[in-house]
Amino acid sequence: MPARNILVINCGSSSIKFALINEAHSHFTLSGLAERLGSHDAVLHWQRGDEKGSLMLPDGDHRAALAQLLPLVQNAAGGTLHGIGHRVVHGGEHFTSASLLDPQVIAAIRAIAPLAPLHNPASLLGIEAALSLHPQLPQVAVFDTAFHQSLPEHAYRYAVPEHLYREHGVRRYGFHGTSHRYVSHRAAEIAGLAVGDSSWLSAHLGNGCSTCAIVNGQSRDTSMGMTPLEGLVMGTRSGDVDPNLHGHLARALGWSLEQIDAMLNKDSGLLGLSSLSNDMRSLEQARDQGHVGATLAIEVFCYRLAKSLAAMSCALPQLDGLIFTGGIGENSPLVRSKTVAHLKLLNLALDKEANARSIRGVGGPIQAYGHPRVLVVPTNEERQIALDTLALLH
Ligand code: AMP
Tens of pLDDT along 201-244?
A: 999 999 999 999 999 999 999 999 999 999 999 999 999 999 99
Q: How far is the CA of 23 from the centre of ligand 1 (A)?
A: 27
Q: Which residues of 234-264 are buried (b: 16+ CB within 10 A; e: fewer)?
A: bbbbbbeeeeeeeeebeeeeebeeeebeebb
Q: Which residues line ligand 1 (CB under 6 A)?
A: 206-207, 235, 279-281, 284, 326-328, 331-332
From 178, 302, 331, 334, the mutation candidate for ligand 1 (largest count of ligand atoms within 8 A of CB) is 331
Q: How far is the CA of 173 from the centre of ligand 1 (A)?
A: 25
Confidence at residue 226, expressed as pLDDT on a 0 to 100 scale: 96
Tens of pLDDT along 359-393?
A: 999 999 999 999 999 999 999 999 999 999 999 99
> In CATH, what is the architecture of 192-380?
2-Layer Sandwich (3.30)
Can you tell me the distance from the alpha carbon of 315 to that of 39, in angstroms, rounded to the nearest whole number?
47
What is the rounded average pLDDT of the residues 119-144? 94
Confidence at residue 1, expressed as pLDDT on a 0 to 100 scale: 76
Confidence at residue 67, expressed as pLDDT on a 0 to 100 scale: 94
pLDDT band at 79 (very low <50, low <70, confident <90, very high): confident
Tens of pLDDT along 89-116?
A: 999 999 999 999 999 999 999 999 998 8
CATH superfamily of 5-143: ATPase, nucleotide binding domain (3.30.420.40)
What is the rounded average pLDDT of the residues 14-33? 94
Q: How far is the CA of 43 from the centre of ligand 1 (A)?
A: 25
Are both 5-143 and 192-380 of the same fold?
Answer: yes
Q: Please report the DSSP string for 225-255 in residue order.
A: -SSTTSSS--SS---S--THHHHHHHHHH--
Domain spans of the chain, in order of start: 5-143, 192-380
Tens of pLDDT along 187-198?
A: 999 999 999 999
What is the rounded average pLDDT of the residues 324-329? 98
> Cβ(33)–Cβ(15) under 8 Å?
yes
Confidence at residue 192, expressed as pLDDT on a 0 to 100 scale: 98
Q: Is 242 a catalytic residue?
A: no
Confidence at residue 117, expressed as pLDDT on a 0 to 100 scale: 85
Range in 84-88, 98-102, 114-118, 257-261 with the lowest mean pLDDT: 114-118
Residue 111 burial (CB count, 10 A): 12
Confidence at residue 57, expressed as pLDDT on a 0 to 100 scale: 95
Residue 75 burial (CB count, 10 A): 11
pLDDT band at 128 (very low <50, low <70, confident <90, very high): very high
Q: Please tell me which residue in 41, 59, 61, 144 is annotated as part of the active site.
A: 144
